[in-house]
Amino acid sequence: MESVDLIYKAIYILVIFGITLLIATYSTYFERKIAAFIQDRVGPNRAGPAGLLQPLADAGKLFFKEDFIPTKANKALFIIGPGIAMLVATMSSAVIPFGDMLIVGGREIWLQAIEVNIGVLYVFGVVSLGVYGLMIGGWASNNKFSLLGAIRAASQNISYELAMGLSLIAVLMMTGSLSLREIAEQQQGFNWNIWYQPLGFLIFLVCAFAECNRTPFDLPESEAELIGGYHTEYGSMKLGMYLFAEYINIFVASAVMSTLYFGAYNFPFMENLRAAISDPVLANNVVTILGVIVMFAKIFAFIFFFMWVRWTLPRFRYDQLMKLGWQILIPLAILNVVLTGGAILLKDYLF
């Protein structure tokens, strides 16, 4: 690889990292704001205009709190736990195509950190590792409630990973590729996967909620039963890291869902727009930048949906959670795979 390309990649990765952290930071603000609005309140509005500096105030508070480690905790693992959670959360945005190709000075710049031909599997693998942060942290705390939270997290993640993978397979059968960029390219214009995979999307959505430990599947950290679950013993910035990791996970899940089912950076009439501008380079750049904006709009819509659901639905009971995962979602996902396969065969037969 050329050194210029390397520098560009480094800059791009830093930018994506920064955006991820920024979105995670402001997710806390919007979570509180949306919660307040849904409950007919106004939410944080004291720090800065409309409370916009609230996340900074929260971060400042977390940084200056006493960094406390329980006496009987396993010190090394207690510290590693939030680190793993954070590391794994930030890793997964590497393969997501936030946009198409920009042409700057004759150089093609792809708006994706790394292009691998197993992008979907990469995301899937990294997401499946996220549970280690919770488990190690929960176990190292040496506290019953933390341990219960960790165990819940583990069994929940494993159960829902299966249904998630199966619902993904239908998409992969349609697109015939594991590369996220190729999946995005195939959904040109308004030809989004959601029109062909509504059931698969629904299953994926439910599983994404479960994988992110969001309400109604937030059993690992349920305040009412487990006093906060795996992060009961955590305080200061280590707690902050766990919360941060959760919001980054939401961001990544939103980005993956937009890419897989909602056409990533594609938007209706993008080809008409491209044809309307005479200069091909300019046309490409305009369409690409609009595409990035559209992609982030989709991601924000999903993040809003995550929060909207959190303040609407109550928490599941644990046996209901397991029943939903194993007895409903997995058979539905298999049915979806079979239906997709049949439809593909029928299409080949007819046309």
Partner 1 sequence: MENLFYFLASLTLLCALMVVISKNPVHSIIFLVITFFTISGHYILLNAQFLAAVNIIVYAGAIMVLFLFVIMFLNMGKNERDLKTSALTKITGTIAGGLLFVVMIAALKDAHVGTYDAENFNSQIGMVENLGKVLYTKYLLPFELASVLFLVAMVGAVMLGKKETGERHF
Partner 2 sequence: MESLSNRSKKVQKREMTFAERAYLPAIAQGLGITLKHFFKKKATINYPEQTRERSDVWRGLHVLKRDEKGAERCTACGLCAVACPAEAITMTAGERKAGEEHLYREEKYAVTYEINMLRCIFCGMCEEACPKAAIFLQDDKLAPARYERDEFIYGKDRLVEPLKTTETK
Quick check: 217 binds partner 1 (CB under 8 A)?
no
- Determine how β-strand 101-104 pairs with β-strand 107-110: antiparallel
Contacted entry of partner 1, partner 2, none for residue 42, CB cut-off 5 to 8 Å set by kind:
partner 2
Least distance (Å) between residue 13 CB and partner 2: 36
Least distance (Å) between residue 123 CB and partner 1: 10
Which of 122, 209, 217, 230 contacts partner 1 by CB under 8 A? Answer: 122
List the structure tokens of 272.
């008409």
Residue of 15, 50, 332 whose CA lies nearest to 205: 332
The region of 127-135, 213-221, 262-270, 274-282 touching partner 1 under the rule CB under 8 A is: 127-135
Q: Which residues contact 341 (CB under 8 A, 6 or more apart)?
A: 173
Q: Say how far apart CA 98 and CA 294 lie, in whole Å.
A: 9
Quick check: 118 binds partner 1 (CB under 8 A)?
yes
Q: Three-state DSSP class for 108?
A: strand
Quick check: 158 binds partner 1 (CB under 8 A)?
yes
Among residues 230 and 302, whose Cβ is nearest to partner 1?
Answer: 230
Contacted entry of partner 2, partner 1, none for residue 39, CB cut-off 5 to 8 Å set by kind:
partner 2
Q: Which residues bind partner 2 (CB under 8 A)?
A: 34, 37-42, 45, 308-309, 311-313
Contacted entry of partner 1, partner 2, none for residue 150, CB cut-off 5 to 8 Å set by kind:
partner 1
The region of 102-110, 135-143, 223-231, 254-262 touching partner 1 under the rule CB under 8 A is: 135-143
Contacted entry of partner 1, partner 2, none for residue 34, CB cut-off 5 to 8 Å set by kind:
partner 2
Q: Say how far apart CA 248 and CA 87 lie, in whole Å.
A: 10
The number of C-alpha atoms within 13 Å of 242 and in the hemisphere containing its C-beta is 28
Which of 53, 59, 70, 128 contacts partner 1 by CB under 8 A? Answer: 128
Q: Which residue has the tokens 């928490």?
A: 315
DSSP assignment of 60-103 equals HHHHHS-----TTS-HHHHHHHHHHHHHHHHHGGGG---S-EEE
The region of 125-133, 261-269, 284-292, 342-350 touching partner 1 under the rule CB under 8 A is: 125-133
Amino acid at 23: I
Least distance (Å) between residue 37 CB and partner 2: 5
Least distance (Å) between residue 349 CB and partner 1: 21
Q: Say how far apart CA 142 and CA 140 lie, in whole Å.
A: 5
Quick check: 153 and 146 in contact, CB under 8 A? no
Contacted entry of partner 2, partner 1, none for residue 40, CB cut-off 5 to 8 Å set by kind:
partner 2
Which of 29, 98, 139, 267 contacts partner 1 by CB under 8 A? Answer: 139
Quick check: 236 binds partner 1 (CB under 8 A)?
no
Residue of 95, 26, 74, 19 whose CA lies nearest to 247: 26
Contacted entry of partner 2, partner 1, none for residue 192, CB cut-off 5 to 8 Å set by kind:
none
The region of 35-43, 107-115, 117-125, 306-314 touching partner 1 under the rule CB under 8 A is: 117-125
Among residues 34 and 140, whose Cβ is nearest to partner 2?
Answer: 34
Residue of 335, 329, 351, 108 whose CA lies nearest to 211: 329
Quick check: 104 binds partner 1 (CB under 8 A)?
no
Q: Which residues contact 38 (CB under 8 A, 6 or more apart)?
A: 308, 311, 312
Amino acid at 319: D
Angle at the Cα of 331 from the Cα atoms of 328 and 334, rounded to 5 degrees: 145
Q: Say how far apart CA 24 and CA 11 lie, in whole Å.
A: 20
Among residues 151 and 169, whose Cβ is nearest to partner 1?
Answer: 151
- Which residues form the interface with partner 1 (CB under 8 A)? 74, 77, 116-118, 121-122, 124-125, 128-129, 131-132, 135-136, 139, 147, 150-151, 154-155, 157-158, 161, 178
